[in-house]
Amino acid sequence: NAGVTQTPKFRILKIGQSMTLQCTQDMNHNYMYWYRQDPGMGLKLIYYSVGAGITDKGEVPNGYNVSRSTTEDFPLRLELAAPSQTSVYFCASTEGYEQFFGPGTRLTVL
């Protein structure tokens, strides 16, 4: 049972490039979330999903897209990277009241 896994761990992008942050969970959780964490700040919700085929916007969705074709996977897509998207990205899944977090992806956009 690996829990929530995220790839890559680190990435540097140039402005305007695109990339997909991968997130997989093996706990059969329906609810999954993407957050970003900026230095000295709390987590801001980007998108979430309550099950395969269902996604919804969170607090800061602009510049991102998601899909949820399976229960296990919840990738986050950045289409045109901007310096403002430099952050640490955390994926999480939820069972009941507890969120299980992945180890994070540190993204720098230059």
**Cis previous bond, 61, omega within 30:** no
Measured from the CB atom, the residue of 20 and 44 that comes closer to another protein is 44
**110 part of the interface to another protein, by CB under 8 A:** no
Measured from the CB atom, the residue of 6 and 85 that comes closer to another protein is 6
- CA atoms of 36 and 31, how far apart (whole Å): 17
**What residue type is assigned to position 21 of the chain?**
L
- CA atoms of 37 and 107, how far apart (whole Å): 11
Measured from the CB atom, the residue of 79 and 95 that comes closer to another protein is 95
Number of residues that bind another protein (CB under 8 A): 22
Residue closest to 9 by CA, chosen among 21, 19, 17, 18: 21
Selected from 58, 61, 63, 75, the binder of another protein by CB under 8 A is 58
Instruction: List contacts with another protein (CB under 8 A).
Output: 4, 31, 33, 35, 40-43, 45, 48, 50, 56, 58, 90, 92, 97-99, 101-104
